[in-house]
Amino acid sequence: MNLASISKSIALCCIFLATAYLCAAQHYVILQSGDSISGIRLTYDSPIAQNAYFSLDQNRWKANEIVRFSNNNGTFANLSNIHGNDTERYALRIKKGRVNAFEEIPFGVYCDDTLRVYPGMKKINKLLASGKQLDYYNLGNGPVYAANYKNMMRDFDSNSESVYYIEHHRKLKRTQIALLTAGLGIMSYEFFRQDNFEFTPIFALGTVISLAPLLAQSPKKEDIWIAFDEFNKPKVGTE
């Protein structure tokens, strides 16, 4: 074998090894500092009476030092920046695009190389993400925020369709609060005005009004998703 053949073989071997490493290095962490570090295997441990921590190959960080991370089961956001460094709350990215959607999950189900789904749970496992709950979001690789009126109006204000549905979401929420308050008020009035309580038509009316906000719950969720989808649509002329 001549020198040219040997050099070619070495080059092909190097390319193969580099490709294999890149394929294997699918786990990563993004630190509070903004640094992104990739590796082969990300693990999580929460010892009793100690701080939880993540390990990526030979590196280790406290859980609240990491903003986002990825393992075999998906990409996750650490919610400590939103709910406080003393909390252990995480959200799974359920939709990717110009803006990404996250659903809060119990990370204990997702922390291993495979999902911790035990016999008997199967498809009815309520601990797994539904893929339907838009709890948090982020723009590109930016910070994760709660999917509420204040945050979404600030970040989605460039899209008039999104703004319309965010505003409609708030109107439904206010209507729910108003109906619940009115219904409870009627029920309380009717309860306290009687010496011996009886289920009267007025009390029934208060009950119906109190339960009415449940009818707006599904449309209210749909408004948030529609606002999200509208903002995620490609801009004309960018395809």
200 in Cβ contact with 208 (< 8 Å): no
Domain ranges of the chain: 22-147, 160-232
State the Cα–Cα distance between residues 104 and 109, nearest whole angstrom.
12
Cα-based angle 93, 23, 11 (whole degrees, multiple of 5): 155
pLDDT (tens digit per residue) in 145-176: 999 999 999 999 999 998 888 888 787 777 77
pLDDT (tens digit per residue) in 42-60: 999 888 878 888 999 889 9
For 61, how many CA atoms within 13 A lie in the half-sphere containing its CB?
Answer: 20
pLDDT bucket at 236, cuts 50 / 70 / 90: low
pLDDT (tens digit per residue) in 184-218: 787 776 667 776 766 676 667 667 666 655 655 66
Question: Two tokens at 89?
Answer: 């709350």
> Which run of H or of E encompasses 53?
strand 53-56
pLDDT (tens digit per residue) in 121-138: 555 567 788 899 999 999
State the Cα–Cα distance between residues 237 and 234, nearest whole angstrom.
8
Contact residues for 168 (Cβ-Cβ < 8 A; gap 6+): 223
State the Cα–Cα distance between residues 183 and 204, nearest whole angstrom.
9
- pLDDT score of 74: 93
- pLDDT score of 177: 79
Average pLDDT along the chain: 79
State the Cα–Cα distance between residues 47 and 187, nearest whole angstrom.
49
Question: Exposed, middle or buried: residue 115 (CB in 10 Å: 0-12, 13-18, 19+)?
Answer: middle
